[in-house]
């Protein structure tokens, strides 16, 4: 990724970010196609020689332009709702490249996904398994399913994005999964022949992956010894990215894949991966302008035109995002609390962050904003959803227009027609 913040001309994939912001306004999400492509290719290169499919976790960035780009590069989708199924199909991702995860798949969602002919359901509870069996039977079709194992492993990440501990709502214990397989013959319309595991997100150490995969591998060997064929193992997502230069040290994709392959030595079925953040996180920046500098009694505030509704991660998880001034790197440094205009104290991107001294109108970029940025945005405070663009080789393509006020209120109406339920 070309990110020349030290040059007076700040560019991303050879597109001048100042010109882009002037033309399209701020806040503006900008995604580097080159960076996404490089990540896909790094993972694909590490997987060469295996029967593997990368299914992008749509929740990380559900923009149809981004999903279409994934599809063009041979990447499928990991979905968690009917809405994500719809988006993935709209973006051209074929159903046989779609896996469905999540603890709360409704009967309607299961029906739709089955009707679409998706590759596989990652089943997270016995009730869901029975629902899948019932729906598949009524449709006269066979559902392919994997059990999501909760390996009770600490992902060593933020508690709110940790999913593989026994106390978490995700997946089932190996004991429970064992019972499912023992009763497999009762499932006339579910082909239970896969294992799935996803222990959390923003993982920066190989060890939790290693532990989880070793537990899954031991279970796979046990199942095969008992005569249960396992045709697919899904290693989930979770690969961390760099939010704070010099502080976060992401795992190399090749090392990660080697860890998975090592644990699963001898497995000759299909390997599935569900990376989200790894593919798009560092590819994205959120461009934002300084509305004003406010000198408080105790500190200086940099008030931006981006807010927690555009990028919720700092307020939700106290997440750090590097923030850079696009021009003006020779100015003296000042410490700021960097905040948005939303009426909440939590609308804070950074506290006591040192930046070149800023003035109203200055253009900043909030980095590593490509994952869980736009996809988690809201219109809180009636702020329109930000525009999104992809950049590549000196050109840009709009992938989301800035929302209008009319679009914000579409569907709302005055309470004029009172009816009885
Ligand atoms: N597979 C499943 C079943 C998942 O639940 C997730 C993410 C992924 C794959 C992709 O994980 P990734 O590779 O992106 O780490 N909003 C939070 C992250 C929530 C992750 C939820 N599940 C954040 O902004 O940090």
pLDDT band at 1 (very low <50, low <70, confident <90, very high): very low
- The per-residue DSSP string of 261-286 comes to HHHTTT--SEEEE--SHHHHTTTEEE
Residue to mutate, 53, 56, 60, 243, ligand 1, most ligand atoms under 8 Å from C-beta: 60
**Closest atom of ligand 1 relative to the 316 alpha carbon:** 24
Work out the average pLDDT over 38-54.
Answer: 97
The pLDDT value given to residue 168: 86
The pTM is what?
A: 0.96
Nearest residue (by CA) to ligand 1, atom 19, is 161
Q: For residue 325, is pLDDT > 70? A: yes
Contacts of residue 224, defined as CB under 8 A and 6 or more positions apart, other chains included, come to: 230
User: What is the per-residue pLDDT across 75-116, written as a single tens digit (0 to 9) for each?
Assistant: 999 999 999 999 999 999 999 999 999 999 999 999 999 999
User: What is the per-residue pLDDT across 124-166, written as a single tens digit (0 to 9) for each?
Assistant: 999 999 999 999 999 999 999 999 999 999 888 887 777 878 8
Work out the average pLDDT over 13-32.
Answer: 98
What's 19-59 look like in SS3? HHHHHHCCCEEEEEHHHHHHHHHHHHHHCCCCCEEEEEEHH
Residue 87 token pair: 């988006």
The answer to whether the CB of 89 falls within 8 A of the CB of 116 is yes
The residues that bridge with 276 in the sheet, in sequence order, are none
User: What is the per-residue pLDDT across 162-193, written as a single tens digit (0 to 9) for each?
Assistant: 787 888 889 999 999 999 999 999 999 999 99
- Taking the CA atoms of residue 132, residue 137, residue 140 and residue 146 in that order, the dihedral angle to the nearest 10 degrees is 30
- Ligand 1 centroid from CA 186, angstroms: 33
Work out the average pLDDT over 301-315.
Answer: 98
| Domains of the chain, each with CATH number or no CATH | 11-30+282-404 (2.40.37.10), 33-280 (3.20.20.10)
User: What is the per-residue pLDDT across 106-116, written as a single tens digit (0 to 9) for each?
Assistant: 999 999 999 99
What distance in Å separates the CA atoms of residue 34 and residue 69, rounded to the nearest whole number?
A: 11
- Ligand 1 centroid from CA 357, angstroms: 36
Q: For residue 3, is pLDDT > 50? A: no
- Calculate the average pLDDT of the chain: 95
Q: For residue 2, is pLDDT > 60? A: no
- Ligand 1 centroid from CA 58, angstroms: 9
The answer to whether the CB of 43 falls within 8 A of the CB of 70 is no
pLDDT band at 197 (very low <50, low <70, confident <90, very high): very high
Residue (of 305, 306, 314) closest to 350 by Cα position: 314
**Closest atom of ligand 1 relative to the 313 alpha carbon:** 24
Nearest residue (by CA) to ligand 1, atom 23, is 372
Nearest residue (by CA) to ligand 1, atom 24, is 372
Buried b (16+ CB within 10 A) or exposed e, 182-212: eeeeebebbebbbbbbbbbbbbbeeebbbbb
Q: For residue 41, is pLDDT > 70? A: yes
pLDDT band at 208 (very low <50, low <70, confident <90, very high): very high
pLDDT band at 6 (very low <50, low <70, confident <90, very high): very low
- Percentage of the residues of the chain whose pLDDT score is greater than 90: 92
pLDDT band at 270 (very low <50, low <70, confident <90, very high): very high
**Closest atom of ligand 1 relative to the 101 alpha carbon:** 3
Place of tokens 């319309």: 189
Catalytic residue numbers read 343
Nearest residue (by CA) to ligand 1, atom 9, is 237
**Closest atom of ligand 1 relative to the 201 alpha carbon:** 15
By three-state DSSP, how is residue 109 classified? helix
Work out the average pLDDT over 33-51.
Answer: 97
Ligand 1 site: residues with CB under 6 angstroms?
57, 60, 78, 101, 161, 198, 201-202, 236-239, 274-278, 313, 317, 371-372
Place of tokens 């429970």: 176
Residue to mutate, 53, 59, 253, ligand 1, most ligand atoms under 8 Å from C-beta: 59
Contacts of residue 89, defined as CB under 8 A and 6 or more positions apart, other chains included, come to: 95, 98, 116
Q: For residue 18, is pLDDT > 90? A: yes
User: What is the per-residue pLDDT across 371-389, written as a single tens digit (0 to 9) for each?
Assistant: 999 999 999 999 999 999 9
Q: For residue 291, is pLDDT > 70? A: yes
The pLDDT value given to residue 285: 98
- Ligand 1 centroid from CA 200, angstroms: 7
- Percentage of the residues of the chain whose pLDDT score is greater than 70: 98
Place of tokens 């899954």: 216
Residue (of 205, 236, 231) closest to 124 by Cα position: 236
Q: For residue 7, is pLDDT > 60? A: no
- Ligand 1 centroid from CA 202, angstroms: 8
Residue to mutate, 70, 200, 274, ligand 1, most ligand atoms under 8 Å from C-beta: 274
The pLDDT value given to residue 4: 41
């Amino acid at each position: 990724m070309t990110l020349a913040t030290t040059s007076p001309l700040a560019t991303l994939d050879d597109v001048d970010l100042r010109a882009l912001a002037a033309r399209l306004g701020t806040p503006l999400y900008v995604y580097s196609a080159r960076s996404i492509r490089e990540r896909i290719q790094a993972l694909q290169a590490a997987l060469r020689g295996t029967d593997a499919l990368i299914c992008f976790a749509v929740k990380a960035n559900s923009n149809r332009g981004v999903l279409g780009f994934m599809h063009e590069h041979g990447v499928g989708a990991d979905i968690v709702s009917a809405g994500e199924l719809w988006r993935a199909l709209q973006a051209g991702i074929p159903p046989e490249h779609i896996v469905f995860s999540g603890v709360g798949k409704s009967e309607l969602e299961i029906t739709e996904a089955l009707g679409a002919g998706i590759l596989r359901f990652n089943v997270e509870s016995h009730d869901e398994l029975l629902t899948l069996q019932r729906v598949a039977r009524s449709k006269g079709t066979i559902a392919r399913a994997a059990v999501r194992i909760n390996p009770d492993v600490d992902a060593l990440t933020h508690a709110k994005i940790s999913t593989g501990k026994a106390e978490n709502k995700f997946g089932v214990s190996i004991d429970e999964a064992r019972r499912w397989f023992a009763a497999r013959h009762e499932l006339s319309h579910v082909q239970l022949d896969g294992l799935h595991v996803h222990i959390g997100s923003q993982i920066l150490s190989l060890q939790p992956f290693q532990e989880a995969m070793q537990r899954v591998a031991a279970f796979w060997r046990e199942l095969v010894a008992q005569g249960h064929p396992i045709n697919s193992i899904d290693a989930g997502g979770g690969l961390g990215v760099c939010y704070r230069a010099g502080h976060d040290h992401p795992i190399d994709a090749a090392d990660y894949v080697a860890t998975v392959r090592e644990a699963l030595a001898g497995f000759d079925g299909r390997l599935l991966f569900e990376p989200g953040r790894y593919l798009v996180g560092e590819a994205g920046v959120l461009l934002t302008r300084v509305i004003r500098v406010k000198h408080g009694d105790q500190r200086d505030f940099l008030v931006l035109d981006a807010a927690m509704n555009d990028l919720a991660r700092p307020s939700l998880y106290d997440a750090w995002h590097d923030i850079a001034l696009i021009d003006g790197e020779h100015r003296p440094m000042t410490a700021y609390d960097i905040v948005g205009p939303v009426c909440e104290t939590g609308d804070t991107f950074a506290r006591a962050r040192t930046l070149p001294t800023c003035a109203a109108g200055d253009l900043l970029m909030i980095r590593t904003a490509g994952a869980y940025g736009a996809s988690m945005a809201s219109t809180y405070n009636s702020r329109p959803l930000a525009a999104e663009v992809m950049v590549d080789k000196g050109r840009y393509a709009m992938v989301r227009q800035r929302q209008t006020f009319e679009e914000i209120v579409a569907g709302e109406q005055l309470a004029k027609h009172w009816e009885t339920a």
